[in-house]
Amino acid sequence: MLIELALRNLARTKVRSTLAIIGIVIGVMAISSIGIFGESLKAVILENFKDVANEVIITPNYIHGYTSIDARTVRKIETIPFAETVIPVKSESALVEYRGKKTYVTVYGIDVRKTKDLFELERGTYKGCLVGSKIADFFKLRVGSRITVAGKDFRVTGIIKEGARFDINPNYAVILPLRDFDRVFNDKEYSMVIVKVRSIDKIDAFKKAVDKIVNRKENKVSVFEMKMIIERIKNVFGKVTLFLMAIAGVSLLVAGISILNIMLMSTIERTKEIGLMRAIGAYRETILKLFLTEALILGLVGSAVGGALSFLGGYSIDILILKTAKYVFAPSSIVYVFLGIAFGILTALISAMYPAWKASKLEPIEALRYE
């Protein structure tokens, strides 16, 4: 009956109630749409790194005077059970020339069987010299072109697909098979070791094993987790999303104020009714509940509609800015829709608290006499 009464009270001032609902709809839609967009943006960026999440990079501990990793250390790392693939990498900065053009790039030496674990190719095969896409663009290289690396000639067998890594920038790299690299540079030791750990939750165990086996006497190497970098990115984008949502939240605040306003008007208009209800046996909290129920209905309806429309909003922003809508219905995006709905309902309830309290505090006889 209380709900019925609340519904009819809202229906009494249809235009007013509708406007209040529209306010909530806009507020919830703004918050949730931006939430969806923020989440999609994060997903789009992290998608580039999804293959490297289980990787760790082992570098020489420069602080303790180590500038390279020796073959014995690499073999020790290979014995750690959590390591699925161990890729030792040599690197040097070198002059690369092609048809009169020249540039300095970082040249990497990687076992020919393992390059496929790190890079995808746009064209060609993994078996020889690989060049990054930007290098290829710069020199206008094709598979089969002959380039000069630190004075020695190599035939390009593959062009690396554009991508992003934290350890090696594939777009500007020149990758040589280890044997060829050694022919040019004569480096005995490795500049880093990339390890793919069996699964993300084994990374901590792997790190501990490295400390025990490799760093037992001296801190020879440092271990960087990709996971950590990815977490940082997530964190930053989470904050950006939150900030944008807070801005959108202003519209919900305005909606809340409009509910406060209409509820105050309605307590004044219905003073006599409140007095009557108190006279015939309504407790103070019954009056409180009645007004809060009215606000709750406004909040529920507004939030439900706003929540539904936020998919449309999120979809539009995603298409417009990210050119893809595949993350609109992702579970992590839907969380923001529920968040928006929760905020919408909460706003309505909080806004109604003061008017409801005021109505419940009316003395029955004064309310009945009110003109």
Q: Which residues contribute to the site for other proteins (CB under 8 A)?
A: 1-2, 4-5, 8-9, 11-12, 272-273, 275-284, 286, 363-365, 368
Residues 304, 26 contacting (CB under 8 angstroms): no
User: What is the nearest approach in angstroms of other proteins to the Cβ of residue 332?
Assistant: 44
User: What is the nearest approach in angstroms of other proteins to the Cβ of residue 31?
Assistant: 33
- If DSSP codes are grouped into helix, strand and coil, which group holds residue 286? helix
Residue 316 tokens read as 């539009």
Q: Which CB atom, from 166 or from 283, has the smaller least distance to other proteins?
A: 283
Among all chains, which residue has been given the structure tokens 């009215």? 294
User: What is the nearest approach in angstroms of other proteins to the Cβ of residue 6?
Assistant: 10
User: What is the nearest approach in angstroms of other proteins to the Cβ of residue 4?
Assistant: 8
Q: Which CB atom, from 242 or from 279, has the smaller least distance to other proteins?
A: 279
Alpha-carbon distance of 28 to 346, in angstroms, equals: 11
Hey, CA dihedral for 180, 185, 187, 193, is it positive or negative? negative
Alpha-carbon distance of 348 to 81, in angstroms, equals: 56
Q: Which CB atom, from 11 or from 15, has the smaller least distance to other proteins?
A: 11
User: What is the nearest approach in angstroms of other proteins to the Cβ of residue 22?
Assistant: 23
**DSSP letter (8 states) at residue 145:** -
User: What is the nearest approach in angstroms of other proteins to the Cβ of residue 17?
Assistant: 13
Q: Which CB atom, from 245 or from 282, has the smaller least distance to other proteins?
A: 282
- If DSSP codes are grouped into helix, strand and coil, which group holds residue 287? helix
CA separation, residue 268 to residues 262, 360, 368 (Å): 10, 12, 12
The string over 104-133, giving b where at least 16 C-beta atoms fall within 10 Å of a residue's C-beta and e elsewhere, is ebbbbbbebebbeebbebeebebebbbbbb
- If DSSP codes are grouped into helix, strand and coil, which group holds residue 355? helix
User: What is the nearest approach in angstroms of other proteins to the Cβ of residue 299?
Assistant: 21
Q: Give CA angle at 130 (127, 132), nearest 5°.
A: 155
- If DSSP codes are grouped into helix, strand and coil, which group holds residue 195? strand
Q: Which CB atom, from 12 or from 179, has the smaller least distance to other proteins?
A: 12
Q: Which CB atom, from 165 or from 289, has the smaller least distance to other proteins?
A: 289
Q: Which CB atom, from 128 or from 364, has the smaller least distance to other proteins?
A: 364
User: What is the nearest approach in angstroms of other proteins to the Cβ of residue 273?
Assistant: 6
303 in the Ramachandran plot: left (φ > 0), alpha (ψ -120 to 50) or beta?
alpha
Q: Which CB atom, from 1 or from 63, has the smaller least distance to other proteins?
A: 1
